[in-house]
Chains A and B, each alone.
Chain A
Amino acid sequence: MSDPSIDHWYPVGLLSDINAPRQTLLFGQEISLTKEDTGFSVKTSGGASLPTIKRFGHLWTSLGQPDHDLFAIPEADTPGRHLVDVGSVKVKCSPLRAVENFLDIAHFPFIHTDILGAEPHTEVDRYKVEIREEVNEVWATKVKFFQPQAAKSAEEGIITEYMYRVPAPTCAVLYKTCPPRPGEWDIITLFVQPLTEEWCEVWPWMALYDDESTMAEMVSFQQLIFMQDRSILENQIPLKLPLDPGMETPTQADMTSVAYRRWLKRIGYSYGAQMVAA
């Protein structure tokens, strides 16, 4: 396969869960994962071995030749955090639509009503967006939003601060206000596995400060949030993410997604994208 989109690392399984062999798809190709004495192995249907990385509780692989290591999240290594495997969910949408939705906050009052947002607190204040050239990542900072129940650990409504980071074409990292530890960030990630251009498997993962909630409660909270987005993702037209202007109309609140689309175009990423404005 000659599409350069394959030259990146992609999540394909949960380390704690690959006890029986797992068959899955990557870029429309069948791959199988097995746990062996020496570690995990990923093979194509033709028997070729693919490179692997174990990080953030997940197994990562590539069908191509990445010229870089998988990104790091140094803050996630600080002690006292609960590392939460949220478990995967499949969605019939482009992997890029899943990432873009994760970067969006204007939908909080309507899709995550009374949790991440509520009317009439719908205004999105101006925030800062940049493509950081030195690391080739999209970053949005100084994002603020009023949230009735920002996290499982939150007791009441607060103004939540956010930072968004896109360190890889189908991965996003959210750093958000941590109610139990003011000054620290809770970390919530979305790692997206492209099954095909219009179908993906989403692997959320978290590194949280929360000594009150059970693991099941933390997992439930994040699954709830993601599943609220799923029916949106499966009903956006066109299925592929349009990278050219003309098809869709952004506003100031959408600057992170505008930067994400611009960045995808710049790095030549086209899997799950629609290049021509209809």
Chain B
Amino acid sequence: MILYDYVLSASCYKIRLMAALSDQKLGLRAVNFHPAREHKSPEMLKLNPGGTLPILRDGNLIMTDSSDMLRHLTKNLPEWQRDDDEWLDFAKTLNETLGMARLHDVLSFNVDIDAARNGGVRLLRRLEAHLTEQRFDGMIFLTGDTPTIADIACFPNTALAPDGGVSLDVYPSIRLWMRAIRSLPRFIEMPGIHRLHELEAAE
């Protein structure tokens, strides 16, 4: 499997993370998204006329939607799929709000920044309410007490919200959920999401 990848993309990271957590090998092809806009080059548009990243190629199969990619990576791993449809959709709205606010603040994308941040806060409050109720039932992840692609899809844009000027300080349940994900075996970081250095002490 080859992932056409941009190191700072939250959506590309979903795929890199899922592959790492499920111990699957993923070849990475770095694409110069910024500043060269390589994802819009003729070669890349041939691969994906939509001009977006990530692109996942598995043999002759080419996927351009991150939800499809997450399903594909876990098609033989039923424990990673459970009641996740609504959360994969929710993840897309996080991308459109928190994700765009981040691209605005970091890479100067043209975005209605107030709408993006306010939209993001509404979604974070919904996420916080759900995760709080999960914790009442003794569960830490979105759809149960083990992680699924629902968690992996929602995690990056949530964890990177501060890059776009949206603080996570006021969401205790979201913070505990993020910590649980970052503590998973084979977890990998991306810039903006630090290693959990507390774990070093265990060695």
Q: A and B: real partners?
A: yes
Binding site for B on A (CB under 8 A): 14, 16-17, 85-90, 92, 110-111, 113-114, 119, 214-217, 219-221, 223-224, 226-228, 230-231, 234
Q: How far is the CB of B15 from chain A (nearest CB, A)?
A: 15
Known contacts A215-B32, A223-B7, A227-B8, A89 near B200 by CB under 8 Å: no
Contact with A along B20-54 (1 / 0, CB 8 A): 00000000011110111010000000000000000
B30 and A220 contact, CB distance less than 8 A: yes
Contact with A along B89-121 (1 / 0, CB 8 A): 000000000000000011110000000000000
What total of chain B residues lie within 8 Å of the partner, measured CB to CB? 25
Tell me if B155 counts as interface (CB < 8 A to partner A): no
Contact with A along B171-203 (1 / 0, CB 8 A): 000000000000000000101101101001000
A223 and B8 contact, CB distance less than 8 A: yes
B30 and A216 contact, CB distance less than 8 A: yes
CA distance A234 to B57 in the complex (A): 37
Closest A residue to B29 using CB positions: A216
Closest A residue to B191 using CB positions: A227
A-B contact pairs, 29 of them (CB 8 A): A16-B35, A85-B35, A85-B36, A87-B36, A88-B35, A88-B108, A89-B106, A90-B105, A92-B165, A113-B194, A113-B195, A113-B197, A119-B197, A216-B30, A216-B31, A216-B36, A216-B38, A220-B7, A220-B32, A221-B7, A223-B8, A223-B34, A224-B7, A224-B191, A227-B192, A228-B191, A230-B191, A231-B162, A231-B192
CA distance A217 to B30 in the complex (A): 6
A111 and B7 contact, CB distance less than 8 A: no
CA distance A234 to B195 in the complex (A): 18
CA distance A227 to B191 in the complex (A): 5
Q: How far is the CB of B2 from chain A (nearest CB, A)?
A: 14
A87 and B105 contact, CB distance less than 8 A: no
Tell me if B84 counts as interface (CB < 8 A to partner A): no
Q: How far is the CB of A217 from chain B (nearest CB, A)?
A: 5
- Chain B residues in 8 Å Cβ range of A224: 7-8, 191
B6, B191, B197, B200 — which one has the most chain A CB atoms within 10 A of its CB? Answer: B191
Tell me if B163 counts as interface (CB < 8 A to partner A): yes
A17 and B35 contact, CB distance less than 8 A: yes
CA distance A224 to B192 in the complex (A): 9
A220 and B197 contact, CB distance less than 8 A: no
B191 and A220 contact, CB distance less than 8 A: no
Residue from B31, B35, B191, B192 in contact with A87 in the complex, judged by beta carbons closer than 8 Å: B35
- Chain B residues in 8 Å Cβ range of A223: 7-8, 34, 191
CA distance A14 to B197 in the complex (A): 37
Q: How far is the CB of B85 from chain A (nearest CB, A)?
A: 32
Q: How far is the CB of A120 from chain B (nearest CB, A)?
A: 9
CA distance A227 to B192 in the complex (A): 6
Q: How far is the CB of B33 from chain A (nearest CB, A)?
A: 9
Closest A residue to B6 using CB positions: A220
12 further A-B contacts with Cβ under 8 Å, apart from A90-B107, A216-B30, are: A17-B35, A88-B108, A89-B107, A111-B194, A217-B30, A219-B32, A221-B7, A227-B8, A227-B106, A230-B191, A231-B192, A234-B162
- Chain B residues in 8 Å Cβ range of A114: 195
A87 and B163 contact, CB distance less than 8 A: no
- Chain A residues in 8 Å Cβ range of B6: 220
- Chain A residues in 8 Å Cβ range of B32: 215-216, 219-220
A230 and B200 contact, CB distance less than 8 A: no
CA distance A215 to B35 in the complex (A): 11
CA distance A18 to B8 in the complex (A): 23
8 nearest A-B residue pairs (beta carbon): A87-B35, A227-B191, A216-B30, A216-B32, A220-B7, A217-B30, A220-B30, A113-B195
CA distance A230 to B102 in the complex (A): 12
Closest B residue to A213 using CB positions: B30
Residue from B30, B108, B194, B200 in contact with A90 in the complex, judged by beta carbons closer than 8 Å: B108
Closest B residue to A232 using CB positions: B194
CA distance A151 to B19 in the complex (A): 24
- Chain A residues in 8 Å Cβ range of B197: 110, 113, 119
Q: How far is the CB of B200 from chain A (nearest CB, A)?
A: 6
A119 and B30 contact, CB distance less than 8 A: no
CA distance A155 to B165 in the complex (A): 37
